[in-house]
Structure 1
């Protein structure tokens, strides 16, 4: 970082230049070698190199801030684990103390005389007259009997102290509010960094710290210097990490840790957009109307459930603890006609190799035309389309260049594949090609019987990674290291969004991003998810953005459900509610909430970054509390509908099962290995795009083959209905060959079906169709 900073202030040079253009220049520089840069004119060469340095600075600061947060989290985790180990070791001492207490009780039971009992107890507790050992045991158990691990944290912090101080000096930390108490405390510990004494005379404003922290940092002035320097350092760094997460603290010159308030649309501009936006999203246009409408909706939903609750006895009941108990949802029965159709279909499916499938899709729509040098020039590769397909296959099936080159026919070397990956296939180009495959799929008739594409299921699945990178982490569900592949899969089975995220991040923060970045002709407005795909904050902003969030929540009974007002009482469901909606808070901050929603919709701010910050507890951020209040109301309405509708529960379960099937299908195609062997963040994201591109190609080929077989079966007199077809799925694998010699022959004649008018029309519609907004913006 110090070396990058030595190039001077580059912010002045790039001030006013669109960020997408800086990113493009930086990507071009990163993909070029020395010889290629020398071939550029001097102004262009300097522009590319400075753009790369500028982007590397931003990324490095982001990574350093993330490392700071992770290191603090690890320190706290280790202190907690030590406390647990101590408590486990002290169980024997607890048993001894319990036995001692039982002995005292036995004396009192058998000896009615108090004076004699006291004498016997003294003799029992200290036969040698020394009670000090017993007192020490009691004090030790009391000190570690609760969950306060802070007194143990210094030893785990000490070995990382130097690194954390270096990070605090490198990063330009600034509060995003008027409260500067934490920054002042940081300045104090930086000034005292080289001191060796444990206690210092300075009085520190600890208004930002909890009472538990204050107890370990301070002591009475009568005992000496009042502030423990060691624990003050740990305290300040811990709260810095917390406030970086919540957005109460920002880092200058970053993206992920920038002050999000400065990225919002000005309210004057929001006022101009507000009427049209509210009309489109069917939202009231003022704070009072918004609250009144939402309150009415909550009242009506609660009353409807209360009225029909007796008729739902077979599906839902309230136990003695006041908790609703729902009957397990059963799947739809598959009719025998659908099973027969599936069997006949599988018997007729043609067998193809993965590479042959990709060649067919290339013959069909030439999707490799999106790839090429970062400079935008024509590729100078020999037979570029073949090279691109081989690279997609090698990376998408997780073979890697070396393993794939051993099995590919012809004179293919690992360097040829890795060079093509680095120089010709960027993240943006892969997204563009993936989008075209999805658009092609949406033009076909068969997927429309499976779903309209206006609803998606969101979920993550674990991938193994190398341990030493910022994306990898320990996943508490899978009990191993790796990262999470977060995807959106449409209700017609195709993946429309994909992104690798660290295991510690709540998946829900990418719900909005996935819908906004899909950029398809069919816009999804409903998201099915599991527990990780929801939170109060996400419920709030999906509602404001016109998105219907429908999660399958584990342990949903533990969530807070809000009644419309304190006086609202219900005959059957009154015990469901544990809180009251805070309408005043929602109305007061309606303008702030709408400003955020409009900024996200306009693309001025990253929704994952914002939701990550607003999803972390903040003692000072009123927007956080307002989003929590609004989200609790929206989630309560959803849960009331969830409890009262078996059909809704079946719908959510069926659609979340689709993405679980897709995850299994895509991993079946990633047969080259279980580990993503990359540490570069962009290359890691590219691997997921490659995998989904291979999966989309196979889905397209399976769908085409199924359409042709269904037409043939109909001509042969088979009787089947649209309902029978709706039970089919394009995730077929028995007809797909993965192994053997990989022989790509793109110069062979296209298969006859490609010239069929139905498939030519589908291809033509995406070639001449309207470009997505992202592609249009890039061209302009």
Structure 2
């Protein structure tokens, strides 16, 4: 069961960076003294696990009077489970109460009897503690906890994590947990001392050279008002020679500081990552104010992490530069090809005419030039021959020659790029050898290319240009081929950078071997997957059952027929919208009151209190003047794309500086995400939301937005924006209740399927997603396999479904009517061989050891050479086949998929309505700023959804009171996202001020 504690715990930046003992704490004041809040949304398995009474428990409970037994049973389970007694027992889920009553053979109860006297409750608590072997939290327990906390904090553990670990430590020790404020004060005190010692220890290890390098980073660059520290925090522009050279310089500047010697001494990666993120929030002037030990330690962590990030940026920039080079080369080649194709046709006609003339020349008439040129235009013939030679070269080597023309430009950054610390996985050593050869050529250690240089990786575009007239390999073609091969190898992980963040070796992205061995058996149980020796049998049995069920349904559904061994599909009947639905929708739309966007946000906040999640980096509870009004204004400035300048002009009493301050320290991706999740969670609890679904089905899709700014994230998207304007994608995961539970800014270049798992695995709401759908861009066979392993039922809408290759699991088995379609066999042997590694990958994804899209991209680009990727693909083929057979025979499944995709696509209208400023185009190229805007847009979308759902529910109640029949089946077709009644523009807060900042 998911336990939601009714207090909030966050890291105290002030505590770590500037006198933690002076900080008020990292728990929210309003939540510090409240008791545990229990969820009402959990599975039967979770209830049985946490609230089942043993025979000994029942014997103990039955010692009490009948009317006290339920109360005692609740407290007994609560102490064992949470380490605390429950105060508000009547807030417990009715399902749990009924389950306990049934075990104790008690009658159903509307309320739970509680002790009338404190003395009685005190005696009962004493008895429960004695029975369970628990002790009270006293001075001795506090001293042991303080000693344990010091050890954990010494390993770099941060306050929020310490709070969770401390609770578990006391629970394991069977000690009743003290109040949250007691734990908070102790953790702050311990962290203050331990982190101070950690900073001092790191500071003492820094050489004078490193300190001097840090000081230089914080000093403005000559001729520039900004420091290198500022530039290191920038998100890269698009990949050009100049930008790549600039980032190479930044990398070598970082690498030359000597930080390698210190990296291994950082006690905990999470601690280093936290300090890196914290440093990004400050400017050079702010950081200079810290004490020396804290300043240099903070900057050391920033430099170590930034070097990794810069390496990742350089890999992406090289990838984008090569892609852009290929794109431009292809455009020029196609243009020339079209031009000379017309001339070629005329040339062929000319040459054919001459050929016919020669063939028909009389045998008795001698052929001489004079007679020939009298009948043929010599000039046109020679031009035609030239045109044919040009077209032949264009066909054979034209594209390659166009690429070679760009070789001098590539050389402006490529020699430096090759000196990055590349390594290769086994099997890719020839590519690494090629990199060393180019380094030697550049250094003058080699004069010419050796005859045995590796060439297997040279792409076909350059093959015909590889050798010159002398038969020797041309360096320009070969080196350009190496650059192109490096792009692909870095994508697949065949080539990697151990010092980077995301482009490390594949297994460095996974749980480390020691952790995997410790959790291996638990991982199989958690994923509910068989062990290696059972997997083939289970997959075969599951496949046969799926095919058998589809075979039974086949004649009952007219969607698919099989003719001549081929699958033929007809278009599904379009679901007709009943007139009653149209009428009701019009009534609801007409009844929705017009509301300004700021008023809507404040109303939703009054009901959900989402604003409590906007916590400053420093974690202090003092807030700037007019904080609440500024916060709402800042959110609107992001969600509407207005920006702070236009927003300040539209709000009385809120300045640009006030907005910037709130955006810098309060409105960040993590706080927006937490606030949005709060709205989603409370929307899920609204009775009316269940009409549209249980929150277990979702879909994901990318919505494209034009971007004016120069950014590495931007890419050309010809389908909508032509070849001259760039766009980005905002990839959202939408539940069947219309709520957005994940938002990510992505490039338009890669396939959307890379990002499907990110949203599912990073879901921080109470929605228990079980089934997920996408359009055809969101599916690959590897995604099918990973969803299967992670417990999600993946059900994409696949274009050209009838042309999909279907697979069987056994070669000689008759699969009934589907036998002609299952004409290839999936390789179960490789699945069995790699099964343990596949479970390792799935567990790592669940533990979020690396972003899911990074792991999926590696697997996708490694196929078919990599055996692990091949195993995932073969498992995916089996699962995909089972799904397609169900899809073509199950009308309800098809409707579920279509309905959910329609919800996601319909929701795209709302962001277009809200994101109105600057023609709905992004004007910033910074990834963090883009994510802030995209996340704020999703938050506002969820707020509108919450407000709409509440109002529509009231409208329906009024209709029913008037005697109208409005059943839930009818309401399921009503959209919860009408939006034209929401006014996103104009002057804000004209109807009154925001609530007091003290509220």
**3-state secondary structure, aligned to 1:227:** coil
Q: Choose the corresponding residue for 1:252, options 491, 494, 498.
A: 498
Contact 2:752–2:777, Cα closer than 8 Å, also in 1: yes
Residue in structure 1 matched with residue 560 of structure 2 by the alignment: 316
Q: Choose the corresponding residue for 2:790, options 545, 550, 555.
A: 545
Q: Choose the corresponding residue for 1:392, options 616, 628, 635.
A: 635
- Structure (1 or 2) with the larger CA radius of gyration: 2
Residue in structure 2 matched with residue 176 of structure 1 by the alignment: 425
Matched, 1:330 2:573: yes
Contact 2:729–2:745, Cα closer than 8 Å, also in 1: yes
Q: In the TM superposition, what is the alpha-carbon distance from 1:49 to its structure 2 partner?
A: 2.4
* Structure-1 separation of matches of 2:989 and 2:436: 64
Q: Choose the corresponding residue for 1:554, options 799, 815, 822.
A: 799
Residue in structure 1 matched with residue 894 of structure 2 by the alignment: 649
* Structure-2 separation of matches of 1:117 and 1:631: 73
Aligned residues: 741
Q: In the TM superposition, what is the alpha-carbon distance from 1:354 to its structure 2 partner?
A: 0.5
Distance 1:650 1:105, change over 3 A: farther
Q: In the TM superposition, what is the alpha-carbon distance from 1:237 to its structure 2 partner?
A: 0.8
Residue in structure 2 matched with residue 188 of structure 1 by the alignment: 437
**How does 1:731-750 map onto structure 2 within 5 Å?**
731-743=977-989, 745=992, 747=994
Q: Per-residue displacement from partner, 1:336-371 (whole Å, max 9, x unpaired)?
A: 333333233233322211100111122223322222
Q: Choose the corresponding residue for 1:346, options 577, 589, 594.
A: 589
Contact 2:524–2:531, Cα closer than 8 Å, also in 1: yes
Distance 1:678 1:18, change over 3 A: farther
Residue in structure 2 matched with residue 165 of structure 1 by the alignment: 415
* Structure-1 separation of matches of 2:264 and 2:433: 32
Q: Choose the corresponding residue for 1:725, options 933, 956, 971.
A: 971
Which range moves more in the overlay, 344-353 or 533-542? 344-353
**3-state secondary structure, aligned to 1:419:** helix
- Structure 1: gaps spanning 5 or more residues: 755-780
Q: Per-residue displacement from partner, 1:429-449 (whole Å, max 9, x unpaired)?
A: 111111111111111111111
Distance 1:127 1:421, change over 3 A: closer
Residue in structure 1 matched with residue 16 of structure 2 by the alignment: none
Q: Per-residue displacement from partner, 1:479-525 (whole Å, max 9, x unpaired)?
A: 34111000000001000000000001211122111111112223212
Which range moves more in the overlay, 590-599 or 553-562? 553-562
* Structure-2 separation of matches of 1:516 and 1:458: 13
Q: Per-residue displacement from partner, 1:190-219 (whole Å, max 9, x unpaired)?
A: 222377999745531224445665553346
Q: In the TM superposition, what is the alpha-carbon distance from 1:608 to its structure 2 partner?
A: 0.9
Distance 1:91 1:178, change over 3 A: closer
Q: Choose the corresponding residue for 1:449, options 691, 708, 711.
A: 691
* Structure-2 separation of matches of 1:470 and 1:31: 21
Q: In the TM superposition, what is the alpha-carbon distance from 1:239 to its structure 2 partner?
A: 0.6
Of structures 1 and 2, the one with the larger relative CO (CA 8 A, separation 6+) is 1
Contact 1:107–1:117, Cα closer than 8 Å, also in 2: no
Matched, 1:65 2:308: no
**How does 1:123-522 map onto structure 2 within 5 Å?**
136-145=386-395, 149-169=399-419, 171-193=420-442, 200-209=449-458, 213-218=462-467, 223=470, 226-266=472-512, 269-270=515-516, 273-286=519-532, 288-302=533-547, 304-305=549-550, 309-312=554-557, 314-318=558-562, 323-408=566-651, 410-479=652-721, 480-522=725-767
**3-state secondary structure, aligned to 1:434:** helix
* Structure-1 separation of matches of 2:312 and 2:285: 31
**3-state secondary structure, aligned to 2:704:** strand
**How does 1:759-778 map onto structure 2 within 5 Å?**
none
Distance 1:47 1:16, change over 3 A: closer
**3-state secondary structure, aligned to 1:576:** coil
Residue in structure 2 matched with residue 94 of structure 1 by the alignment: 344
* Structure-2 separation of matches of 1:218 and 1:471: 37
Q: In the TM superposition, what is the alpha-carbon distance from 1:13 to its structure 2 partner?
A: 4.1
Q: Per-residue displacement from partner, 1:726-757 (whole Å, max 9, x unpaired)?
A: 1122212232222332117455699xxx9xxx
Contact 1:324–1:557, Cα closer than 8 Å, also in 2: yes
Contact 2:593–2:981, Cα closer than 8 Å, also in 1: yes
**3-state secondary structure, aligned to 1:192:** helix
Q: Choose the corresponding residue for 2:775, options 515, 522, 530.
A: 530
Q: In the TM superposition, what is the alpha-carbon distance from 1:150 to its structure 2 partner?
A: 2.4
Which range moves more in the overlay, 737-746 or 63-72? 737-746
Matched, 1:713 2:959: yes
Matched, 1:690 2:936: yes
Contact 1:199–1:228, Cα closer than 8 Å, also in 2: no
Contact 2:554–2:889, Cα closer than 8 Å, also in 1: yes
**3-state secondary structure, aligned to 1:217:** coil
Distance 1:667 1:41, change over 3 A: same
Matched, 1:601 2:850: no
Which range moves more in the overlay, 271-280 or 592-601? 271-280
- Structure 2: gaps spanning 5 or more residues: 1-249
Distance 1:13 1:153, change over 3 A: closer
Distance 1:132 1:148, change over 3 A: closer
Contact 1:107–1:120, Cα closer than 8 Å, also in 2: no
Residue in structure 2 matched with residue 7 of structure 1 by the alignment: 257
Query: Taking structure 1 as the reference length, what is the TM-score of the superposition?
Result: 0.87
Contact 1:275–1:285, Cα closer than 8 Å, also in 2: no
Contact 1:467–1:482, Cα closer than 8 Å, also in 2: no
Q: Per-residue displacement from partner, 1:107-136 (whole Å, max 9, x unpaired)?
A: 69989x9x6899799969988699987665
Q: Per-residue displacement from partner, 1:135-172 (whole Å, max 9, x unpaired)?
A: 65444333333697324311123223211222222x21
**3-state secondary structure, aligned to 2:442:** coil
Matched, 1:32 2:282: yes
Matched, 1:681 2:927: yes
Q: In the TM superposition, what is the alpha-carbon distance from 1:415 to its structure 2 partner?
A: 2.2
Contact 2:738–2:976, Cα closer than 8 Å, also in 1: yes
Residue in structure 1 matched with residue 301 of structure 2 by the alignment: 51
Contact 1:189–1:232, Cα closer than 8 Å, also in 2: no
Q: Per-residue displacement from partner, 1:410-444 (whole Å, max 9, x unpaired)?
A: 22222221221122222211111111111111111
Q: Per-residue displacement from partner, 1:76-135 (whole Å, max 9, x unpaired)?
A: 222222321222122123313542565478669989x9x689979996998869998766
Residue in structure 2 matched with residue 762 of structure 1 by the alignment: none
Distance 1:259 1:172, change over 3 A: same
**3-state secondary structure, aligned to 1:629:** helix
Contact 1:317–1:326, Cα closer than 8 Å, also in 2: yes
